Chains A and B, each alone.
Chain A
Amino acid sequence: MKRHARILRQSGTPCGKAIAVAMLCLGSLLGRALAQGGELRLCLRNEPKTFDPLKVEDDASGQIRYLTGGVLVRVNRQTQELEPELALSWKVSKDGRQISFRLRSGISFSDGTAFTAEDVGYTVQQLMDPALHSATGDAFRSGTGKVETKVISPTQISIRFPAQVAGLDRLFDQVAILSERSSKKEMAVLGPFMVADYKPGASVLLKRNPNYWKTDEQGRKLPYLDSIRLDIQRNGDIEMLRFKRGELDLINVLDADYFDKLAATSPQLVHDAGPSLDSEQLWFNQVAKSPIPVYKKNWFRSATFRRAISQAINREDLSRVVFHGHAQPAAGPFSPANKFWFNSNLKPQAYSPDTALKELQADGFRMENGALKDKDGNEVVFSIITNSGSKMRERMAVLIQDDLQKIGIHVNVVTLDFPSLGERMTQTFDYEAIILGLTNVDLDPNGEMNVWLSSSDNHQWNPQQKAPETPWEAEIDRLMRAQASTSEPKKRKEAFDRVQEIVVEQEPFIFLINKNALSAVSTTVHGAAPVILSPQTFWNAERLTVAPQ
């Protein structure tokens, strides 16, 4: 652009102006030619388990669904606002049970089949079919009974759920619309790309959907790219090496070690988008029937003990040492990255081993020869397990081991393969403390109902309670149900703010850090603006271009 302006300024004569205008047009045409076409290359960390958008459960399949699926509404990954896509407008009823969509007309699936309200009704019925066991569908299941779909016209549909579904409209971000009539079934898509080739264990090739409905501001058809090649590569070292060699254009999620190594040589390639929604946390086993000594259960079920442990952990050091500064001390269950739902009154627990020790001593613990003992004389020793292969978690565990040693607590760090860890965590409950992470894909707290409700399987510190075992868990249950049973954002926010406060007071999960969203983007990719929400680097894939190397 600067170059064009300079040519205009230097061209004083009418002839010169004509030449300049001609050159501008030529430049614009060339720019357009460069802006279109090309192949984007990146890696999937795992094999996609399905191409059926309704059956998606894993990250790899979710990323393909994002690139190929057409949705009625989309959460803008940058602004976190809900935006219209295939639906021009929508309305949620006051009781939160019904949603009505007005759809765009004249849109076709990738195989040329026309898109109508019938397809939306078909997709919702398929999604809610209990026999499908759809994880996406589970998010809509708030009560028993059938979902009713009513096609009002080819461009209008209303969907009624048997019970209120909180945050109903945002849930449609995950629902890719299927064609009722296409013989290609789930391979007929409405998104910018379609699956063209799949080599199991090797790669997935996505090609531009010729019938994609969107255009850019200049009226050009989207997407700009011809294709996206997703190589299946589990090994992060190899992914990094291939990126450095120019064989890949993006690394969607980078860990802090790789980020710093790349930043040392090519700082222009790495992006730190700030705190992500993901958190890392430590929790103690509070399951009454767990096969651990009673005196240890008493420690773990004491809020004073948990708070003291939390105070004795240096979160600043975890962020700085383990994540090289690419993480922030966690304040509570939600990351500050979740702009609406984060309770901004919460601050990360200050590191204070002295206060921790005082609180423990007030609770009957005492120091003897550098070792902390409870009032019955039992030395405070416990094990922290984490999954082997996660360098970051192993390092966090060793730092915490060292921090707790300062208040006389001896920690044994044990790394286990994930299946063994999972078995101990969910079936045998034979563990004392665990460090693991929570990956949040949903901004809405309803996405975490399965964590906070005491009856839930994923209420990790003490799951599947028949009735809440503590008053504060009963209060969390009540508040979570209250926020889910109203569609007023203010009331929901108030209820979830209180949930966050209770969690911080009681520390059933000791939240440690929120990782930053780190990624790498080649200089050949134009239009990339990495964000914290998945898919971080290619959320705007339809507008990305790749310049020839």
Chain B
Amino acid sequence: MSFWRKLACVVLALVLGASVTASWLAPAGYAKQYREATNAPPSRTHWLGTDEIGRDRFARVLYGTRISLLLAPAAALLTTLMAALIGGLAGYLGGAWARMAMAVTDLFLSLPWLFLLITARALMPLNVSPLVSVLVTFLLLGLLGWTAAARVLCTTAGALRTSDFVRQARAAGLPGRRLFWVHVVPNLKPVLYAQFWISIPVFILSEANLGILGLGVAEPMPSWGSLLKELEGLVSVGEEPWKFVPLILLVVVVTSFQLLLSKQEEVAG
């Protein structure tokens, strides 16, 4: 294992450990409002300062990490599995199946998701607890985000279907199902991994934007998305640098995951 991969493992372990032990590291919790100390800079009491209504930013980052780190990968996994099933299978089967699957994918891509999400919000009750809102949000993201990945996987699986080693395997009498699982799916892994890791930051940011439709993680629960929204009104980078911690954390975590992924890709390759 290279130095960078070891470092990635350590970083991920630290971030995961900190988020799991959030209640011990930040006992006051993410919702406690210190109304006498709003927008405070970092101090011994509040390591990353407080937000605009006096909530401890360190606690919110830890709890937000727990939510985003657990649910964004879960949504990405759901997306990737759906993409693999629809795109991979369509590409492998080819012909009418591929055309039909891609037509469905194109239809999904052409749908005005903004209006569908507004409809989804309208159908949902207003009185949902923050936890349910989190689950619904990431489930929606997972169910809606598979289309682009499915197209990529369909093309890749299509290329594999006509490759020499698959033709040889088929000529040798290997049954279709076994051919798919033994020869096609392992060769789709690099693409699947890439799609999985790409989806994570996309979903984290999408969750923040879904707040506009009343679908994001509900207050007072934090998420990386809601914490990143704090940067919206920042006029200059040097003004309040501690507000960039969630962004730095997002970059570090995604980079660490991708460093590990490159190892996985090598193995899969």
Q: Which residues of A contact B (CB under 8 A)?
A: 237, 240-241, 244, 257-258, 261, 317, 320-322, 381-383, 385, 388-389, 391, 394-395, 397-399, 401-402, 412-417, 420, 430-432
B107 close to A (CB within 8 Å):
no
- Assuming the contacts A237-B235, A398-B220, A401-B219, asked whether A417 and B213 have C-beta atoms less than 8 A apart, the reply is yes
On chain A, the residues within 8 Å of B35 by CB distance are 317, 320-321, 399
- Assuming the contacts A261-B235, A321-B35, asked whether A412 and B126 have C-beta atoms less than 8 A apart, the reply is yes
- Assuming the contacts A415-B211, A417-B118, asked whether A381 and B219 have C-beta atoms less than 8 A apart, the reply is no
B52 close to A (CB within 8 Å):
yes
Distance from B243 Cβ to chain A, minimum over Cβ atoms (Å): 13
Query: Majority SS of interface residues in chain A?
Result: helix
Distance from A383 Cβ to chain B, minimum over Cβ atoms (Å): 4
Contact yes or no, A414 B218, CB < 8 A: yes
- Assuming the contacts A257-B233, A383-B126, A414-B126, asked whether A388 and B53 have C-beta atoms less than 8 A apart, the reply is no
Contact yes or no, B126 A402, CB < 8 A: no
Contact yes or no, A417 B126, CB < 8 A: no
Distance from B189 Cβ to chain A, minimum over Cβ atoms (Å): 40
Q: List 13 A-B contacts (CB under 8 A).
A: A241-B235, A244-B235, A317-B35, A388-B214, A401-B220, A402-B33, A412-B126, A412-B129, A414-B218, A415-B211, A417-B214, A420-B122, A432-B126
A416 to B233, CA, bound (A): 20
Contact yes or no, B31 A402, CB < 8 A: yes
On chain A, the residues within 8 Å of B121 by CB distance are 416, 420
Q: Which of A237, A241, A394 contacts B219 (CB 8 A)?
A: A394
A394 to B216, CA, bound (A): 13
B168 close to A (CB within 8 Å):
no
Contact yes or no, B122 A395, CB < 8 A: no
On chain A, the residues within 8 Å of B235 by CB distance are 237, 240-241, 244, 261
B54 close to A (CB within 8 Å):
yes
Q: Which of B31, B52, B214, B220 contacts A414 (CB 8 A)?
A: B214
A367 to B38, CA, bound (A): 31
- Assuming the contacts A383-B126, A412-B218, A414-B218, asked whether A395 and B212 have C-beta atoms less than 8 A apart, the reply is no
A415 to B213, CA, bound (A): 7
A483 to B211, CA, bound (A): 44
Q: Which of A385, A395, A401 contacts B126 (CB 8 A)?
A: A385
Contact yes or no, A432 B220, CB < 8 A: no
A431 to B118, CA, bound (A): 16
Residue of A nearest to B55 (CB): A398
B128 close to A (CB within 8 Å):
yes
Q: Which of A257, A258, A389, A413 contacts B218 (CB 8 A)?
A: A413
B110 close to A (CB within 8 Å):
no
Contact yes or no, B53 A395, CB < 8 A: yes
B127 close to A (CB within 8 Å):
yes
On chain B, the residues within 8 Å of A415 by CB distance are 211-212, 214
On chain A, the residues within 8 Å of B127 by CB distance are 381-383, 412, 432
Q: Which of A257, A321, A420 contacts B54 (CB 8 A)?
A: A321
CB interface residues, B 215-252, toward A, < 8 Å = 218-220, 232-233, 235
A258 to B118, CA, bound (A): 31
On chain B, the residues within 8 Å of A321 by CB distance are 35, 38, 52-54
A328 to B87, CA, bound (A): 59
A415 to B208, CA, bound (A): 12
Closest 3 CB pairs of A and B: A383-B126, A416-B214, A413-B219
Contact yes or no, A385 B31, CB < 8 A: no
Most A CB contacts (10 A, CB to CB) among B130, B212, B219, B233 go to: B219
Residue of A nearest to B239 (CB): A261
A399 to B38, CA, bound (A): 12
A317 to B52, CA, bound (A): 12
Contact yes or no, B128 A416, CB < 8 A: no
CB interface residues, B 115-150, toward A, < 8 Å = 118, 121-122, 126-130
On chain B, the residues within 8 Å of A395 by CB distance are 52-53
On chain A, the residues within 8 Å of B128 by CB distance are 412
Contact yes or no, A389 B212, CB < 8 A: yes
A237 to B122, CA, bound (A): 31
Q: Which of B54, B129, B211, B220 contacts A388 (CB 8 A)?
A: B211
A260 to B126, CA, bound (A): 34
Most B CB contacts (10 A, CB to CB) among A257, A320, A394, A402 go to: A402
A416 to B119, CA, bound (A): 12
- Assuming the contacts A402-B33, A412-B218, A415-B211, asked whether A322 and B53 have C-beta atoms less than 8 A apart, the reply is yes
On chain B, the residues within 8 Å of A402 by CB distance are 31, 33, 220
Q: Which of B31, B213, B218 contacts A416 (CB 8 A)?
A: B213
A385 to B214, CA, bound (A): 9
On chain A, the residues within 8 Å of B213 by CB distance are 388, 416-417, 420
Contact yes or no, B233 A417, CB < 8 A: no
On chain B, the residues within 8 Å of A322 by CB distance are 53
A388 to B212, CA, bound (A): 5
Contacts A412-B126, A413-B218, A416-B214 known; 16 new A-B pairs at CB < 8 A: A237-B233, A257-B52, A257-B233, A322-B53, A383-B126, A385-B126, A388-B211, A388-B212, A389-B212, A395-B52, A398-B53, A398-B220, A401-B219, A412-B130, A415-B212, A420-B213
On chain B, the residues within 8 Å of A416 by CB distance are 121, 213-214
Distance from A150 Cβ to chain B, minimum over Cβ atoms (Å): 54
A414 to B218, CA, bound (A): 7
Q: Which of B126, B130, B233 contacts A431 (CB 8 A)?
A: B126
On chain B, the residues within 8 Å of A412 by CB distance are 126-130, 218
Most B CB contacts (10 A, CB to CB) among A258, A416, A430 go to: A416
Residue of A nearest to B126 (CB): A383
On chain B, the residues within 8 Å of A317 by CB distance are 35
Distance from A234 Cβ to chain B, minimum over Cβ atoms (Å): 14
On chain B, the residues within 8 Å of A413 by CB distance are 218-220
A431 to B52, CA, bound (A): 27
Distance from A184 Cβ to chain B, minimum over Cβ atoms (Å): 42
Residue of A nearest to B124 (CB): A414
A420 to B118, CA, bound (A): 8
A95 to B122, CA, bound (A): 50
Residue of B nearest to A397 (CB): B219
A317 to B129, CA, bound (A): 25
A431 to B127, CA, bound (A): 9
Q: Which of B33, B122, B211, B218 contacts A399 (CB 8 A)?
A: B33
A317 to B35, CA, bound (A): 7
A240 to B233, CA, bound (A): 10
Provide the B7-20 mask, 1 if CB < 8 A to any CB of A, else 0: 00000000000000
Residue of A nearest to B125 (CB): A383
On chain B, the residues within 8 Å of A398 by CB distance are 53, 219-220
A381 to B220, CA, bound (A): 15
Distance from B51 Cβ to chain A, minimum over Cβ atoms (Å): 9
Most B CB contacts (10 A, CB to CB) among A257, A388, A397, A414 go to: A414
A322 to B127, CA, bound (A): 24
